[in-house]
Structure 1
Amino acid sequence: MAQQNSFGWGIMGTGAIAGLFAADLGLLPQARIAAVQSRSLEKAQGFAARFGGATAYDDEAAFLADPAIEAVYIATPNHLHAAQALKAIAAGKPVLIEKPIALASADVEKIAQAASERGVFAMEALWSRFLPAVRRAREQIAASRIGKVRCIRADLSYLHPEEPGSRFFDPALGGGAAFDLGVYPLSLAQHLLGEPLAVSGSWLAAGTGVDRRSFFRLDYPAAVAELSCGFDRDGANRLLVEGERGGLIFEAPFLKVQRLSWYADASRAVAAYERGIGGMARLLDRLPQSGRASESCAFPGSGLQFQAEAAMAAIRAGKSGCPEMPLGESAAVLRIIEAIRAQPGTAP
């Protein structure tokens, strides 16, 4: 049994995101890596050696049976998330599942049902929701700092060439811009505005049939969210919240935002957002501006420690989920993606 002061994490997967999570656990004195699992024992052993000598496994069942593991972080390719989450839950292990939690909303419902029946914690690792800047922004918006929100705009784009074997474009691996990038703006918009009344959008197909770029419009009673994501270019990667009495920009890259720009006038926030962050706009952004307050919410590491901390607190308190990232909202994001992908895509 792990000591009360040392929460034992088991990590499934040894890729880049698993490494970031493991490194950020090092920022939490109450956390440790108890075990790691990979299909390759050599990779598991190498990962364990990098992060303190945890027990290495190449067998899922043996890994999930390890009593030193108090929660499992699933950091494998997208198409494995749901099945591995269900296995962890069946083994009685609380589970934190890297985004996207699944490739279908129906699978999230299966995870939720299994977790409820087993009395086990389950949450999607949409780590952006737990960042200090996002928590601060949500509190201030709720306190009406910029008035009632009437529009959210965001684009999240990183250039990835369509190359043979690329996981970003492989449908069998859960590839596509919406699954890899779109979940961030969709989840944050939902975090600020709730579930929309209506959804519309479109998508551009890659040669493999997944989406190279997707566009989403979420309609609310008195607001709209216009969101996009793509692999076809490197974007400005900022998020704008336009209110009735002011505006807010989550500065780039907003998925791991460390700086907020508050504007006393919404039109100035919109203009700043539309200027982007390149060239002269970047220079202007560094200068003091009347009517703008820049707020730093810097943190060490990559920012994954905050979701781990929230999950550990919930698990130790005997909770089955976390109010900042409920499974119902994870399913709602996937339903939006499903609604758009149900339409014919524009050919490459």
Structure 2
Amino acid sequence: MIRSKKIRWGIIGLGNIAHQFAQDLALVEDAVLTAVASRNLEKAEIFSNSNNCTKFYGSYDAIFKDDSVDIIYIATPHDSHAELTIKALQNNKHVLCEKPLALNYKDALQMIEASKQNNKFFMEAFWTRFNPSLQEALHKIKNGEIGEVKYINADFAFALENLEGNRMTDLKLGGGTLMDIGVYPLFLVYLILGIPIEVAAKANFHNSGADLQTAIILQYDNAQALLHSSFMSSSNMRATISGTKGRINLNSKWFKAQSYTLVVNDKKSKHKLPTKGKGYTYEIDECHKCINEGKVESSLWSHQNSLDLIKIVDEVKNQIGLEFPSDKG
């Protein structure tokens, strides 16, 4: 179906992820990047010029007030997600907010309530949920091709060169591996096995109080998951879903997989599903579909899904003793 009306996007928080998102946005036929905003006007102008965007602002409030913007992609540091999302929704904007949705359950709940109160679409930007390899793997799991899932192993790790003065280790900004990259393995297990009955976790910390390395065990009635996130060393970044009849390997880097391997009766078959662009295009399409259908949430990654996941994250935080300044409010 060809849609005549383009959906007009705004972006705030103009870092590396926002650049990648903007490049993929240009690949979506019924999307247009209308405006961008940063607290630094010069940065906004440079981003705008490099992404064929007509408007740029030196404040977030300015883009919230722009009637030519339908939906805002929020890619600021984690600590500001809740405040900015709520402001955007209150200003009649749909919102796609980068993960993690918020730093705690309380803030996430307020964001979702704002979406419903203002009747505006709102989704956490878990782009991996819409990845073609993951979608097909989930279909095979649901159809019982690997039997009953008993074990999941997934990690996300890389050596961070500059730990000092880095956004990723700044506790005030929600830094640390759990919130930045550890949420990915937790997301995968939740998607397949749901909410665990027990969580066990340990971490090593930076002197800022942010976690540098976190290991997690999720216990289910008839399954377990072993997960890891780290800024201290690299890993293969493959994810393995093991069942009673076989297993599925989401190939590296699993969270943006271009293929997966199915193993049944010791027979391997590789399935290549290269993404369009870097892979953000699929979550963009989902936003458009929901907006055009008048929905406030996606059925593939719903408000409840986000709340369930942040509850699990909160329990990991409790287990490792991680506390952000905003948690005390």
TM-score by length of 1: 0.89
Amino acid at match of 2:192: L
Deviation at 1:4, TM superposition (A): 4.2
Partner residue, 2:68 = 68
SS at match of 1:96: strand
Asked whether the 8 Å contact 1:148–1:244 carries over to 2, the reply is yes
Asked whether the 8 Å contact 1:108–1:327 carries over to 2, the reply is no
2:296 is equivalent to residue 341 of structure 1: no
Partner residue, 1:111 = 111
Deviation at 1:120, TM superposition (A): 1.1
SS at match of 2:319: coil
Deviation at 1:228, TM superposition (A): 1.1
Deviation at 1:168, TM superposition (A): 1.1
In the alignment, the residues of structure 2 paired with residue 72 and residue 218 of structure 1 have an alpha-carbon distance, to the nearest angstrom, of 34
SS at match of 2:217: strand
Q: Deviations over 1:61-102 (max 9, x none)?
A: 221121211111001111111110010011111100011111
Q: Deviations over 1:162-218 (max 9, x none)?
A: 532111111011100000111111111111112222222211112211111112222
Amino acid at match of 2:230: G
In the alignment, the residues of structure 2 paired with residue 162 and residue 62 of structure 1 have an alpha-carbon distance, to the nearest angstrom, of 34
Percentage of pairs with the same residue: 31
How is 1:86-105 mapped onto 2 (pairs within 5 angstroms)? 86-105=86-105
TM-score by length of 2: 0.94
How is 1:21-32 mapped onto 2 (pairs within 5 angstroms)? 21-32=21-32
Deviation at 1:24, TM superposition (A): 0.2
Partner residue, 1:131 = 131
Match of 1:314 among 276, 279, 290: 290
SS at match of 2:153: strand
Partner residue, 2:274 = 298
SS at match of 1:342: helix
In the alignment, the residues of structure 1 paired with residue 119 and residue 308 of structure 2 have an alpha-carbon distance, to the nearest angstrom, of 22
In the alignment, the residues of structure 1 paired with residue 165 and residue 111 of structure 2 have an alpha-carbon distance, to the nearest angstrom, of 29
SS at match of 1:62: helix
In the alignment, the residues of structure 2 paired with residue 292 and residue 29 of structure 1 have an alpha-carbon distance, to the nearest angstrom, of 37
Deviation at 1:49, TM superposition (A): 0.9
Deviation at 1:339, TM superposition (A): 1.6
2:149 is equivalent to residue 149 of structure 1: yes
Partner residue, 1:233 = 233
Deviation at 1:295, TM superposition (A): 0.4
Amino acid at match of 2:161: P
Asked whether the 8 Å contact 1:5–1:30 carries over to 2, the reply is yes
Asked whether the 8 Å contact 2:64–2:91 carries over to 1, the reply is yes
Partner residue, 1:284 = none
The alignment covers a number of residue pairs equal to: 320
SS at match of 1:262: strand
In the alignment, the residues of structure 2 paired with residue 229 and residue 34 of structure 1 have an alpha-carbon distance, to the nearest angstrom, of 36
In the alignment, the residues of structure 2 paired with residue 336 and residue 146 of structure 1 have an alpha-carbon distance, to the nearest angstrom, of 26
In the alignment, the residues of structure 2 paired with residue 7 and residue 172 of structure 1 have an alpha-carbon distance, to the nearest angstrom, of 34
Asked whether the 8 Å contact 2:78–2:173 carries over to 1, the reply is yes
How is 1:173-252 mapped onto 2 (pairs within 5 angstroms)? 173-252=173-252
Q: Deviations over 1:269-319 (max 9, x none)?
A: xxxxxxxxxxxxxxxxxxxxxx10000011232111110110111011100
What runs of 5+ residues in structure 2 fail to find an aligned partner?
Answer: 323-329
Task: Decide whether aligned partners of structure 1 residues 239 and 50 sit closer, same or farther in structure 2, where only a CA change above 3 A counts.
Answer: same
